[in-house]
Amino acid sequence: MQQIKTLSSPLAGLLFVTLLPLGFPLSATAATVPNGTISPIMDVNSGLCLGVSGFSNSAGAQLQIQNCNGSDYQKWQVSLDAGNWATIKNRGSGQCIDVTNKSAEPSTNLQQWQCNGDENQAWNISDQGNGQYAIISKYNGLAIDVYGARKANGSPVVQYTWTGADNQRWKFPSSSSSSGSTNTTNTPFGFATGTTGGAGGQVVTVSTPSQLENAIRGNQARIIRVNGIIDFRGNRTTTAACTYSENNCRYNGKQEKILDRLGYCDGRSTYNITYDTAGTEPMRVGSNKTIIGIGARSGIKGKGFYIRDGVSNIIIRNLSITDINDGIVWGGDAISIDNASRIWIDHNYIARIGRQMLVTGWGTAKQVTISNNYLDGTTDYGHYCNAKHYWTMLFLGENQTITVANNRIKNTSGRSPKVDGGMMHMVNNYFDGNYGGGLQGDATYIIMEGNYYTRGNNFSPISSVKSGTLFAPLSSTLGQSNSSCLSVLGRACVENYDENGQRNFALSGNVMNAVNANSSWRAGVRATQPVSTATLRSFNFGPQGNIN
């Protein structure tokens, strides 16, 4: 390929005028797709999607049109500068559409390259009407073009003189603005796809304990808007308990305790402790409910939710759920599911919980998605006396189907998560400052993709799993895992990233075989589109001001 220098401004201007037909804009001021758009880019001529050859992460990988499959390597993020010039970044690889070797030659294959802000990565996305766009290089004035107007999967994408033909026209089928983090959506995904909560029902705003408890009862559709912090604490009782911290250790003079139940204090010295009874009396949620916080600072203290006895179609969003007898095991769970279905738990902040932040069992928990939450294990009481909560996520539901996606799990020391039974898709979770055991799996099929594990003190992202139950690719195993993902999931795999150097990321073919044989499992896993781990730090975890 010919290597040339960057064109000077006068030459660039002459080239632009020469190559473009009369009336084509000479600058990127024409109507374009919204800034922040994340979308496939579809060739009008063939109906195929712009993608990266081989689903590659490598700089220099060539662009081509491909059968559309929803992969992140067929999704592109548009970022506009002050002059409306666009950089177009691939969501799978994190690299930008680039004029190869800064060539001015028509028919040169286009490539992806590390985003650098140069003019050979700047594009004019110009509205041509009917939802179609031209994509013209700022550097050389040539258009993104499917070579020879071909329609076959894998046909090369090149630069060429603008003619206005259909093989130079492109659609952005998801062209909506996405400001800030890309993980805020008002639509349930994963296994909870189709959950509507209280949509279409009565809308009520609550700000007291009694108002909230009354609003969530019954099975009629209702949207319950929580305004401010509703504090259930204050009614206290005294009962026997014992110390439960490892080796009776202390942290800041405090110890983790456990109520004297189910024999947990057998052989230990018991004594009386006082705690809030609200934590052990969770709120029962009826079917067809949306419980949502107003703004980023609304929520509940001292009491959790219980979703059980066959209820269905429930959304819990944008709440803080905190301070449920912190440091007292059996003092209460934040959200518990037992024989319930179609549940979306999204953008909540959960902290300082006596027992489990999230728990299922023994009845089923079907069609559940747990997404975009901030699970903060910071506590004065850690089980190992290290200010990190142990009781994080325990999933024991019979034949459960759970998506755990886009969550931040911080300062925990166990059960991240512990799973027994059913199918779990664990994707794009950000583990930060954790200790001890992470995933524990038994009699469960688990697919792990795009999870980011920062280095922790004595932290094992995968603590223990039953043989043949885990499919978790790393960058080193992505090549051998992609054939399974393409066949079963209809897209490439997204690798996990681990700073702890662990090697327990297995690739069991049993998992993909089981998913392929179960249509509901396959549909649930396909309904989540992982992104590269490079983007996770920018996600907006927990409650947000723009969710309503």
User: So which residues are the catalytic ones?
Assistant: 415
> CA-CA-CA-CA torsion for 447, 452, 458, 462, nearest 10 degrees?
0
Q: In what order do the strands lie in the sheet with 423-427?
A: 202-206, 222-226, 289-293, 312-317, 340-346, 365-371, 401-405, 423-427, 445-449, 470-471
Is residue 19 classed as helix, strand or coil in its secondary structure? helix
CB-based burial of residue 509 (10 Å sphere; 0-12 exposed, 13-18 middle, 19+ buried)? exposed
Beta strand ranges found along 361-479 (DSSP E): 365-371, 374-376, 393-395, 401-405, 408-410, 418-420, 423-427, 430-432, 436-442, 445-449, 452-453, 459-465, 470-471
Q: Which of 142, 145, 198 is nearest to 170 (CA)?
A: 145
Give me the amino acid identity at 527. Answer: A
CA angle centred on 441, ends 440 and 445, rounded to 5°:
145
Is residue 513 classed as helix, strand or coil in its secondary structure? helix
CB count in 10 Å sphere of residue 316: 27
Residue indicated by tokens 């697919």? 447
Q: Are 393 and 357 in contact (CB under 8 A)?
A: yes
Cα 531 to Cα 57: distance, rounded to the nearest angstrom: 13
